[in-house]
């Protein structure tokens, strides 16, 4: 039976490596000509969000805001990240087991909540969260994704914690007088962490895709026909946890939980390449370049540079504080380098690791091999 590791409480006792976040991985500026003392630059911070099953950082005119769920505490949290420090702005009670959150606009967000089988919508007013409404989707949602946002109207996708159905919330706005148009479609068994693709073999134009845990496959539907039956893009020998496209869209990287390998799929041809992992596998993925990728695991991220055939040329490492169930890449501190946000479903914090991510990564593994 494949190990799914869906429950964050399994990882709660894991050690939080505070020293690595503040000391070992700090970097200093060079001394100036006048002999000015070096100024330390923090290369990693920990944002206090326990059991962060999901969330998103959004940087807008008012700076960078982190919306994240505290799964075990049944809370939605709002933090401001200012450069390389974070501040808690607000926390609000939601239903049992919130799983993820996504921004609709700079002041509008939505959270997927298992216990209420709903997408809960919130407005940010000043520094506070204001509950607006609840959209029922008919099952316990694991993920919520903003597929389209135009003129204050949105199309959302909710994928399930368990089951085969996904739910589309079509052409919805906060001030609509009628009930949201929710359409459920059968996809695959446990489609987690949906993503947008610029292209994929078997579909004309952009698509929406997801890795299916229990069905061990990658499926996709065209953006031009969201309610269509999904196309099976690839099948895998192990639980497929997370799929993300490379920046140019040439590859779709897929994290596999077991088997000592991950995968990538050529978006043009459908060619499947298996990528050797230094660990059992991975649970999250964030491609840095067409041939450079970050994989997330328990308490660590490993970065791999590949050749054109998917052979690993080099592996590097970053330590994080928990079970890195989801990764987000963006430039948070405005220095022109992409940073990675690790949402740790098992642990007490969310890690923000500042770039340049490859250059700052260790060439040696930072954690001792865990007992088997």
Instruction: Using the CB atoms, write b or e for 211-249: b if 16+ within 10 Å.
Output: bbbbbbbbbbbbbeebeeebbebbebebbbbbbbbbeeb
Nearest alpha carbon to residue 345 among 129, 98, 3, 139: 98
Q: What is the DSSP letter of 20?
A: I
Domain count, the chain: 1
| H or E element at residue 57 | strand 55-60
Look at residue 41 in the predicted model and tell me its pLDDT: 61
Average pLDDT over every residue of 269-278: 98
Show the domain range for 294: 191-364
Q: What is the CATH number of the domain that holds 305?
A: 2.130.10.10
**Strands of the sheet with 191-197, listed across from one edge:** 191-197, 207-212, 217-222, 231-235
Classify residue 369: in a domain, yes or no.
no
In a domain, 124, yes or no: no
pLDDT tens for 295-333 read 999 999 999 999 999 999 999 999 999 999 999 999 999
Question: Would residue 71 count as lying in a domain?
Answer: no
Average pLDDT value for the chain: 90
Instruction: Identify the band that residue 23 occupies on the pLDDT scale cut at 50, 70 and 90.
Output: very low
Does residue 186 lie in a domain region?
Answer: no
111 within domain boundaries: no
Confidence of residue 14 (pLDDT cuts 50, 70, 90): very low
- In the three-class reduction of DSSP (H, G, I as helix; E, B as strand; rest coil), residue 353 is classed as strand
Q: Evaluate whether 157 touches 168 at the Cβ level (below 8 Å).
A: yes
pLDDT in tens, 46-65: 999 999 999 999 999 889 99
Whether the CB-CB separation of 79 and 65 falls below 8 Å is answered with: yes
């Amino acid at each position: 039976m494949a190990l799914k590791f869906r429950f964050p409480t399994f990882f709660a006792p894991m050690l939080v490596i505070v020293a690595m976040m503040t000391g070992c991985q700090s970097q200093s500026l060079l001394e100036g000509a006048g002999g000015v003392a070096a100024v330390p630059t923090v290369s990693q911070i920990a944002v206090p969000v326990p059991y962060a099953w999901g969330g998103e950082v959004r940087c807008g005119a008012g700076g960078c805001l982190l919306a994240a769920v505290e799964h075990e505490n049944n809370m939605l949290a709002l933090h401001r990240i200012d450069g390389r420090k974070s501040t808690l702005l607000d926390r609000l009670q939601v239903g049992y087991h919130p799983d993820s959150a996504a921004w609709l606009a700079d002041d509008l967000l939505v959270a997927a909540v298992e216990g209420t089988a709903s997408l809960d919508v919130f407005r940010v007013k000043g520094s506070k969260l204001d509950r607006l409404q609840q959209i029922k989707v008919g099952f316990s949602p694991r993920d919520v994704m903003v597929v389209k946002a135009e003129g204050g109207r949105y199309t959302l996708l909710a994928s399930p914690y368990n089951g085969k159905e996904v739910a589309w919330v079509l052409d919805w706005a906060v001030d609509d007088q009628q009930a949201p148009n929710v359409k459920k479609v059968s996809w695959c068994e446990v489609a987690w962490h949906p993503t947008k693709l610029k292209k994929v073999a078997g579909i004309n134009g952009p698509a929406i895709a997801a890795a299916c845990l229990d069905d061990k496959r990658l499926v996709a539907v065209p953006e031009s026909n969201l309610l269509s039956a999904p196309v099976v893009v690839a099948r895998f020998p192990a639980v497929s946890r997370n799929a993300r496209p490379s920046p140019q869209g040439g590859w779709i990287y897929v994290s596999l939980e077991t088997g000592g390998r991950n995968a990538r799929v050529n978006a043009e041809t459908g060619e499947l390449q298996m990528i050797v992992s230094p660990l059992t596998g991975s649970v999250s993925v964030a491609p840095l370049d067409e041939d450079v990728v970050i994989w997330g695991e328990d308490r660590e991220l490993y970065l791999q540079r590949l050749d054109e055939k998917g052979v690993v040329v080099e592996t590097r490492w970053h330590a994080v504080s928990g079970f890195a169930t989801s990764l987000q890449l963006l430039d948070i501190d405005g220095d022109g380098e992409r940073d990675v946000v690790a949402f740790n479903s098992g642990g007490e914090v969310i890690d923000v690791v500042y770039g340049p991510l490859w250059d700052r990564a260790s060439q040696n593994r930072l954690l001792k091999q865990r007992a088997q």
